[in-house]
Chains A and B, each alone.
Chain A
Amino acid sequence: MARSRYFAYQLAFTLLVCAFLIVPVCMSVMAGFTNNFFKGITSGFTLRWVFEVWDLYADTIFLSMGIALACLACTIVLGVPAAYVLAKRPGRITRMIEEFLVLPLAVPGLAIALALIISYGQIRGFRLSWTFILVGHVLYTLPFMIRAVLAVLSSTDFRTLEESAASLGATFWQRFFQIVVPNCRSGILAGSLMVVTLSIGEFNLTWMLHTPLTKTLPVGLADSYASMRLEIGSAYTFVFLVMLIPLLMALQIWGQPRAPRKAVAEDDAGVVAARRRESGSQAAR
């Protein structure tokens, strides 16, 4: 009977942890639809705050979507070829390139943002446009795209495929676009979901890089928490969650680059991808 007692304790503890994480989310959603949160739900249900959020902050939502898509395009164009090179030529130099490219993850966003402002802040046209934020997002999300694609490439035998194509007379570029890229689709999909999710929620860099005319969703959130009433902040948070949930669900389904071996349970996508890649390269040896 001792075991069932342990089970009950652990279950109670885990439920408590779950409550700690979820109760504030529910409260926030509730507050977003309540006339007056201070008085409680009895003050009545309303959509007023959501409409107000739309009036005040719709532009931040569109800007965030735009930046996320632009960031996705950049990370695909930059990341997929880079990942291919890293997978094709494992060695000291490519290892070093990889270490370099993931460096922005080890440095706090605040420091990167400061560095960008110091270096490029004088170029007014650039500083004032949304592309300044885009640069920060690309730096921060590129490692996730590279790792996701690398994970897939390391677990597929793309070399044999390439060799057969080459023996049939395919040029390098034909091989790259018609063999390699289609074969890392699942990695590109997983990486894309990660990139979009991260870009939409990025704050550390964005707060420093934004201007009053280039506010993204998280910047708007910070703004509403600081200067608006609690109900508006709550309704805005709800809008953000509504955007996030489909992405999270898609990540659950397609977030793990498909590999022939048994999938490792997902933790941080980057960590998993790296681990998968390591196990993949061990198998190849």
Chain B
Amino acid sequence: MNNRELHHLSILVLPSLTVFAAFFLLPMARLVTVAGSGDMGAYAYVAFLTTPRYLESLIATVVLSASVTVATLAISVVSGLFLERNRFAGRKILIALITFPLAFPGVVVGFMVIMLAGRQGLIGDITKVLAGDKLVFAYSMAGLFMGYVYFSIPRVVLTIMAAAEKLNPALEEAARSLGASPWLVVKDVILPGLKPALIASGAICFATAMGAFGTAFTLATDIDVLPMTIYTEFTLNANIAMAAALSIVLGLITWVALNAARSLAGSTVAAAG
């Protein structure tokens, strides 16, 4: 390790650092100053607490993201464990199908929700036959919830499967031979073993739901989640300072969630989509 080599290494890392500084650090710093330069000055940062509209949107987004996380984890633990533990004909196809929507962007997920719960959707048709009344909920908070769960299941199932693969089956055998019921084995052996994976994928799920924009945009109109509020402030109201302040608040929430998860679960965690 001599100085020449250090020199060479800095040349290699310099381009990416330059791009990062010019197009991320600098713009982010500008975002922070612009947020404080509107009519309200630095108070823009507390406006989301004092303005009911913003506060409601913030609370709605947090509640939505948290419930999406809980629902996705519950569904994925059952399916992920099942797919990892059992070998049966068609298992590989089932896994391939469940992970197929992994790369769908939010807009496409929104369209899938419309297919299921929209005006010409499957759920509407079924409820019309069964109850005589067409159930349409794609364009509401429930539709958004469904979309985010749809978006998150594939990636969380994969994480759970990877974690379940590494669990020690001897522990379960021991618990079972000592007379533990299947439910107790799940509660005291399997779930604690999956805890790091649950925390990590839960945080990704939460952060993604907080910041997701495409699905809400497709289902559109009157769903007031934070990303939509920011978008409206920016485009319709041309309130750039407020949009900047709100997006910084949003960025801080996702960043804190991911970092907290990382220190709890001890692995690198990143939001997707």
A binds B: yes
* Nearest neighbor of B27 in chain A, beta-carbon distance: A115
- Does B190 have its Cβ within 8 Å of any Cβ on chain A? no
Asked if A203 meets B213 with Cβ closer than 8 Å, knowing A38-B120, A101-B16, A110-B230, the reply is yes
Among the listed A78, A89, A222, A252, which residue makes an inter-chain contact with B16, where contact means beta carbons less than 8 Å apart? Answer: A78
Asked if A201 meets B30 with Cβ closer than 8 Å, knowing A108-B250, A230-B120, A268-B155, the reply is no
Q: Is the CB of B244 within 8 A of A118?
A: yes
- Does B143 have its Cβ within 8 Å of any Cβ on chain A? no
Q: Is the CB of A10 within 8 A of B159?
A: no
The main secondary structure of chain B at its interface with chain A is: helix
A266 vs B114: C-alpha distance when bound (angstroms): 30
Q: Which residues of A contact B268 (CB under 8 A)?
A: 102, 270-271, 274-275, 278
Among the listed B82, B88, B217, which residue makes an inter-chain contact with A13, where contact means beta carbons less than 8 Å apart? Answer: B82
Within the complex, the shortest CB–CB distance from B118 to chain A, in Å, comes to 8
Q: Is the CB of B251 within 8 A of A85?
A: no
**A 61-85 contacts with B by CB, 8 A:** 77-79, 81-82, 84-85
Q: Is the CB of A13 within 8 A of B78?
A: yes
**B 89-121 contacts with A by CB, 8 A:** 94, 96-98, 100-108, 110-116, 120
The count of chain A contact residues (Cβ–Cβ below 8 Å) is 93
Within the complex, the shortest CB–CB distance from A158 to chain B, in Å, comes to 14
Q: Is the CB of B31 within 8 A of A265?
A: no
Q: Which residues of B contact A57 (CB under 8 A)?
A: none
- Does A21 have its Cβ within 8 Å of any Cβ on chain B? yes
A-B contact pairs, 27 of them (CB 8 A): A18-B97, A25-B101, A28-B112, A37-B120, A97-B17, A100-B17, A105-B270, A106-B255, A106-B271, A112-B24, A112-B27, A120-B27, A139-B19, A176-B8, A221-B107, A221-B111, A222-B214, A222-B217, A225-B218, A230-B114, A237-B108, A248-B102, A248-B103, A265-B158, A266-B158, A266-B162, A271-B267
